[in-house]
Amino acid sequence: MMADHCTDTRWIEQLDGVVADVFNIMLQQSCEVVEDPPAAAAEIDIAAKILLSGTIDAQCLVEFPQATAKKLTDALLGSQDDWDDALIEDAIGELCNMIAGGWKSKLRTAASTSGLSVPEISRARAPDRNPPHGCSLRMSRTYAFRNSPFTVSLAIREPIDI
């Protein structure tokens, strides 16, 4: 398990549940939490970031090595191919969108007054990984999809309820 700051298992289990739902429903495939991820898992080639702003301020960041991004794109498109960069980036952005939207929908705090941004895609590590000002609750989780790692990070401005 990898949690930068947050040790509240409710938050962590909620994020794990949202990520699992996305893979189970959209891809009919599992996605496992990587306990104590190796340093290699930190390799980042593509990142997508979505901001949630309004009553709730938060940031959802997904970071992928190229190999995992390729596997995810294969799975979403239902075939294997030499996808162009734009399509792979679209897939990563869409995954970020579904995770952020799924997480938002599970909050007890009135989330309808907060809006999601469109995904911001970047190559290599996201240039601005810093969450919005005041986001004191942070968590980062590494998962494995088809034995390849990727990371999902959430930063949230408290207080909100789950």
Rule CB under 8 A: which residues touch another protein? 21-22, 25-26, 28, 76-79, 87, 90-91, 94, 97-98, 100-102, 104-105, 111-112, 115-116, 118
Residue 68 CB, nearest distance to another protein (Å)?
17
User: ω before 37 within 30° of 0 (cis)?
Assistant: no
- Answer whether 149's CB lies under 8 Å from 56's CB: no
Residue 45 or 74: the one with the smaller Cβ distance to another protein is 74
Residue 21 or 32: the one with the smaller Cβ distance to another protein is 21
Backbone angles phi, psi at 100, to 5 degrees: -65, -45
Residue 40 CB, nearest distance to another protein (Å)?
28
- Answer whether 52's CB lies under 8 Å from 60's CB: yes
DSSP state of 114: S
Residue 12 or 96: the one with the smaller Cβ distance to another protein is 96
Residue 11 or 83: the one with the smaller Cβ distance to another protein is 83
Distance separating alpha carbons of residues 139 and 60, to the nearest angstrom: 10
The structure tokens listed for 121 are 């895609």
Residue 96 CB, nearest distance to another protein (Å)?
9
End-to-end Cα separation, the chain, in angstroms: 21
Residue 36 CB, nearest distance to another protein (Å)?
28
